[in-house]
Amino acid sequence: MSADMSQPPYDAPAYASTARRAPRQTLLALPAALAAASEALGPRFAPAGYPPLADLSRHAGGAALGERIIVAGRLTDEAGRPLRGAMIEIWQANAAGRYDHPQDAHDAPLDPHFHGEGRVFTDDDGAYRFVSIKPGAYPWRNHPNAWRPNHIHLSLFGAGFAQRLITQMYFPGDPLLALDPIYLAIADPAARARLVARFDLALTEPEWALGYRFDIVLRGAAATPMETP
Protein backbone atom coordinates (compact mmCIF):
# COMPACT_ATOMS: atom_id res chain seq x y z
CA MET A 1 0.00 0.00 0.00
CA SER A 2 1.23 3.51 -0.71
CA ALA A 3 2.25 5.65 2.24
CA ASP A 4 -0.74 7.96 1.86
CA MET A 5 -3.17 5.00 1.74
CA SER A 6 -4.60 6.25 -1.55
CA GLN A 7 -4.07 2.90 -3.30
CA PRO A 8 -5.52 -0.49 -2.31
CA PRO A 9 -3.25 -3.12 -0.73
CA TYR A 10 -2.49 -6.38 -2.50
CA ASP A 11 -4.03 -8.29 0.41
CA ALA A 12 -7.26 -6.83 1.81
CA PRO A 13 -8.71 -9.26 4.40
CA ALA A 14 -12.32 -8.18 3.80
CA TYR A 15 -11.88 -8.90 0.08
CA ALA A 16 -11.49 -12.65 0.46
CA SER A 17 -9.93 -13.63 -2.86
CA THR A 18 -6.92 -11.34 -2.34
CA ALA A 19 -5.63 -13.81 0.27
CA ARG A 20 -5.15 -16.36 -2.53
CA ARG A 21 -3.54 -14.07 -5.10
CA ALA A 22 -1.56 -11.48 -3.13
CA PRO A 23 2.24 -11.78 -3.47
CA ARG A 24 3.91 -13.76 -0.68
CA GLN A 25 7.40 -12.47 -1.36
CA THR A 26 8.94 -9.09 -2.04
CA LEU A 27 8.25 -7.88 -5.56
CA LEU A 28 11.18 -7.61 -7.93
CA ALA A 29 11.72 -4.74 -10.33
CA LEU A 30 12.45 -5.76 -13.91
CA PRO A 31 15.86 -4.65 -15.19
CA ALA A 32 15.52 -1.63 -17.44
CA ALA A 33 16.79 -3.53 -20.48
CA LEU A 34 14.27 -6.34 -20.01
CA ALA A 35 11.42 -3.90 -19.51
CA ALA A 36 12.43 -2.03 -22.66
CA ALA A 37 12.59 -5.29 -24.61
CA SER A 38 9.09 -6.30 -23.51
CA GLU A 39 7.78 -2.97 -24.79
CA ALA A 40 9.63 -3.30 -28.10
CA LEU A 41 8.44 -6.86 -28.77
CA GLY A 42 4.92 -6.60 -27.35
CA PRO A 43 1.81 -5.37 -29.18
CA ARG A 44 1.46 -1.67 -29.94
CA PHE A 45 -1.98 -0.23 -29.44
CA ALA A 46 -3.37 2.20 -32.02
CA PRO A 47 -6.80 2.71 -33.61
CA ALA A 48 -5.58 1.27 -36.92
CA GLY A 49 -4.96 -2.13 -35.36
CA TYR A 50 -7.59 -1.98 -32.62
CA PRO A 51 -10.64 -0.15 -33.99
CA PRO A 52 -12.55 1.82 -31.33
CA LEU A 53 -15.79 0.30 -30.00
CA ALA A 54 -17.25 3.39 -28.36
CA ASP A 55 -20.95 2.44 -28.28
CA LEU A 56 -21.67 -0.46 -25.94
CA SER A 57 -25.41 0.29 -25.97
CA ARG A 58 -25.92 -1.54 -29.26
CA HIS A 59 -24.93 -5.09 -30.21
CA ALA A 60 -25.97 -7.69 -32.77
CA GLY A 61 -28.19 -5.26 -34.64
CA GLY A 62 -30.27 -4.00 -31.72
CA ALA A 63 -30.39 -1.62 -28.76
CA ALA A 64 -29.59 -2.90 -25.28
CA LEU A 65 -32.14 -2.77 -22.48
CA GLY A 66 -31.55 -0.41 -19.57
CA GLU A 67 -30.63 3.16 -18.77
CA ARG A 68 -28.44 4.60 -21.53
CA ILE A 69 -25.46 6.60 -20.27
CA ILE A 70 -22.61 8.67 -21.68
CA VAL A 71 -19.26 8.48 -19.88
CA ALA A 72 -16.52 10.99 -20.66
CA GLY A 73 -13.41 12.38 -19.04
CA ARG A 74 -9.72 13.14 -19.42
CA LEU A 75 -6.63 11.05 -18.79
CA THR A 76 -3.82 13.20 -17.38
CA ASP A 77 -0.61 13.00 -15.39
CA GLU A 78 -0.09 14.59 -11.98
CA ALA A 79 0.58 17.99 -13.56
CA GLY A 80 -2.62 17.97 -15.60
CA ARG A 81 -0.83 17.21 -18.87
CA PRO A 82 -2.92 15.08 -21.26
CA LEU A 83 -1.92 11.52 -22.05
CA ARG A 84 -2.57 11.21 -25.77
CA GLY A 85 -3.33 8.07 -27.70
CA ALA A 86 -3.87 5.81 -24.68
CA MET A 87 -6.18 2.86 -25.23
CA ILE A 88 -8.93 2.40 -22.64
CA GLU A 89 -10.69 -0.96 -22.52
CA ILE A 90 -14.17 -1.11 -20.98
CA TRP A 91 -16.07 -4.10 -19.60
CA GLN A 92 -19.15 -4.34 -17.42
CA ALA A 93 -22.31 -6.23 -16.50
CA ASN A 94 -25.60 -5.55 -18.26
CA ALA A 95 -28.54 -3.65 -16.78
CA ALA A 96 -29.68 -6.77 -14.90
CA GLY A 97 -26.25 -7.27 -13.33
CA ARG A 98 -24.97 -10.12 -15.49
CA TYR A 99 -21.80 -10.40 -17.56
CA ASP A 100 -21.93 -11.90 -21.04
CA HIS A 101 -19.42 -14.54 -19.99
CA PRO A 102 -19.79 -18.33 -19.66
CA GLN A 103 -18.53 -18.31 -16.06
CA ASP A 104 -21.21 -15.89 -14.86
CA ALA A 105 -23.87 -18.13 -13.29
CA HIS A 106 -26.05 -15.32 -11.90
CA ASP A 107 -29.67 -16.09 -12.81
CA ALA A 108 -30.31 -12.55 -14.08
CA PRO A 109 -31.19 -12.48 -17.80
CA LEU A 110 -28.67 -12.01 -20.56
CA ASP A 111 -29.33 -9.28 -23.11
CA PRO A 112 -28.72 -10.38 -26.72
CA HIS A 113 -28.04 -6.76 -27.62
CA PHE A 114 -25.44 -6.10 -24.92
CA HIS A 115 -22.00 -7.68 -24.94
CA GLY A 116 -20.43 -5.39 -22.33
CA GLU A 117 -17.05 -4.80 -23.98
CA GLY A 118 -15.60 -1.73 -25.68
CA ARG A 119 -12.50 0.38 -26.18
CA VAL A 120 -11.67 3.99 -26.92
CA PHE A 121 -8.51 6.06 -27.41
CA THR A 122 -7.72 9.39 -25.81
CA ASP A 123 -7.43 12.38 -28.15
CA ASP A 124 -4.79 15.12 -28.16
CA ASP A 125 -6.37 16.66 -25.04
CA GLY A 126 -6.40 13.31 -23.23
CA ALA A 127 -10.18 13.14 -23.58
CA TYR A 128 -12.24 10.00 -24.06
CA ARG A 129 -15.97 9.26 -24.44
CA PHE A 130 -18.18 6.20 -24.75
CA VAL A 131 -21.86 5.28 -24.64
CA SER A 132 -23.17 2.36 -22.60
CA ILE A 133 -25.94 1.10 -20.34
CA LYS A 134 -25.81 1.66 -16.59
CA PRO A 135 -24.75 -1.71 -15.13
CA GLY A 136 -26.83 -3.43 -12.50
CA ALA A 137 -25.70 -4.66 -9.09
CA TYR A 138 -24.99 -8.38 -8.79
CA PRO A 139 -24.36 -10.90 -5.99
CA TRP A 140 -20.93 -12.29 -5.26
CA ARG A 141 -19.86 -14.83 -2.68
CA ASN A 142 -17.29 -12.81 -0.79
CA HIS A 143 -19.40 -12.71 2.39
CA PRO A 144 -23.06 -13.33 3.34
CA ASN A 145 -25.57 -11.37 1.24
CA ALA A 146 -22.76 -9.66 -0.68
CA TRP A 147 -23.63 -7.45 -3.68
CA ARG A 148 -21.28 -5.46 -5.88
CA PRO A 149 -22.21 -1.81 -6.46
CA ASN A 150 -22.93 -0.63 -10.00
CA HIS A 151 -19.53 -0.26 -11.64
CA ILE A 152 -17.60 -0.21 -14.91
CA HIS A 153 -14.10 -1.68 -15.28
CA LEU A 154 -11.52 0.40 -17.13
CA SER A 155 -8.16 -0.91 -18.33
CA LEU A 156 -5.65 1.74 -19.37
CA PHE A 157 -2.84 0.95 -21.80
CA GLY A 158 0.16 3.10 -22.62
CA ALA A 159 2.45 2.53 -25.57
CA GLY A 160 2.75 -1.21 -24.94
CA PHE A 161 1.22 -4.21 -23.21
CA ALA A 162 3.35 -3.91 -20.05
CA GLN A 163 2.06 -0.37 -19.47
CA ARG A 164 -1.33 -1.34 -18.09
CA LEU A 165 -3.38 -0.07 -15.15
CA ILE A 166 -6.86 -1.18 -14.10
CA THR A 167 -9.50 0.69 -12.13
CA GLN A 168 -13.26 0.75 -11.54
CA MET A 169 -15.74 3.59 -11.97
CA TYR A 170 -18.67 3.78 -9.56
CA PHE A 171 -21.87 5.85 -9.61
CA PRO A 172 -22.90 8.59 -7.18
CA GLY A 173 -25.47 7.79 -4.50
CA ASP A 174 -25.06 4.02 -4.63
CA PRO A 175 -25.92 2.61 -1.14
CA LEU A 176 -23.80 -0.49 -1.77
CA LEU A 177 -20.58 1.53 -1.77
CA ALA A 178 -20.62 1.72 2.03
CA LEU A 179 -20.68 -2.10 2.17
CA ASP A 180 -18.27 -3.02 -0.63
CA PRO A 181 -14.88 -4.37 0.53
CA ILE A 182 -13.23 -3.66 -2.83
CA TYR A 183 -14.17 0.01 -2.69
CA LEU A 184 -13.41 0.20 1.04
CA ALA A 185 -9.97 -1.40 0.57
CA ILE A 186 -8.79 2.13 -0.24
CA ALA A 187 -8.17 3.52 3.25
CA ASP A 188 -8.15 7.20 2.29
CA PRO A 189 -11.77 8.46 1.89
CA ALA A 190 -10.69 11.28 -0.42
CA ALA A 191 -8.91 8.86 -2.75
CA ARG A 192 -11.86 6.48 -2.58
CA ALA A 193 -14.19 9.27 -3.70
CA ARG A 194 -12.10 9.72 -6.85
CA LEU A 195 -13.53 6.40 -8.08
CA VAL A 196 -17.07 7.81 -8.11
CA ALA A 197 -18.12 9.49 -11.35
CA ARG A 198 -19.85 12.88 -11.29
CA PHE A 199 -23.25 13.38 -12.87
CA ASP A 200 -22.80 15.97 -15.63
CA LEU A 201 -25.88 17.69 -17.01
CA ALA A 202 -23.82 19.33 -19.76
CA LEU A 203 -22.80 15.88 -20.96
CA THR A 204 -26.36 14.57 -20.80
CA GLU A 205 -28.22 14.44 -24.13
CA PRO A 206 -31.92 15.42 -23.81
CA GLU A 207 -34.37 12.55 -24.17
CA TRP A 208 -31.53 10.13 -24.94
CA ALA A 209 -28.88 9.53 -22.24
CA LEU A 210 -27.59 10.72 -18.86
CA GLY A 211 -23.99 11.90 -18.68
CA TYR A 212 -21.27 11.03 -16.17
CA ARG A 213 -17.79 12.50 -16.01
CA PHE A 214 -14.87 10.39 -14.83
CA ASP A 215 -11.43 11.99 -15.01
CA ILE A 216 -8.41 9.73 -14.46
CA VAL A 217 -5.13 10.98 -13.01
CA LEU A 218 -1.95 8.92 -13.11
CA ARG A 219 0.53 9.45 -10.26
CA GLY A 220 0.70 12.26 -7.75
CA ALA A 221 -1.38 13.34 -4.77
CA ALA A 222 -4.62 13.28 -6.78
CA ALA A 223 -3.98 9.93 -8.48
CA THR A 224 -6.94 7.71 -9.29
CA PRO A 225 -6.77 4.47 -7.24
CA MET A 226 -5.77 1.48 -9.35
CA GLU A 227 -6.10 -2.26 -8.85
CA THR A 228 -2.40 -2.64 -9.70
CA PRO A 229 -0.54 -0.22 -7.40
pLDDT digits (tens, 9 = 90+) for 146-197: 999 999 999 999 766 667 899 999 999 999 999 999 999 999 999 999 999 9
Q: Which of 59, 68, 115, 151 is catalytic?
A: 151
Class of domain 1-17+53-101+108-229: mainly beta
138 is catalytic: yes
Q: Is the pLDDT of residue 51 over 50?
A: yes
Active-site residue, selected from the candidate residues 128, 138, 170, 212: 138
What's the chain's average pLDDT? 93
Residue bearing the bigger pLDDT, 58 or 6: 58
pLDDT (0 to 100) of residue 68 = 98
For residue range 34-43, list pLDDT tens digits in order. Answer: 766 666 666 7
Is 151 labeled as catalytic in the residue annotation?
A: yes
User: Which residues contact residue 138 at a Cβ distance below 8 angstroms, ignoring those fewer than 6 apart?
Assistant: 93, 97, 98, 106, 108, 147, 148
The answer to whether 56 touches 65, Cβ cutoff 8 Å, is: no
Catalytic residue among 115, 148, 192, 194: 148
Residue 175: its pLDDT value, please?
98
* CA dihedral sign of residues 21, 24, 29, 31: negative
Going from N- to C-terminal start, the domains of the chain cover: 1-17+53-101+108-229
Check 106, 113, 129, 153 and give the catalytic one. 153
pTM of the model: 0.93
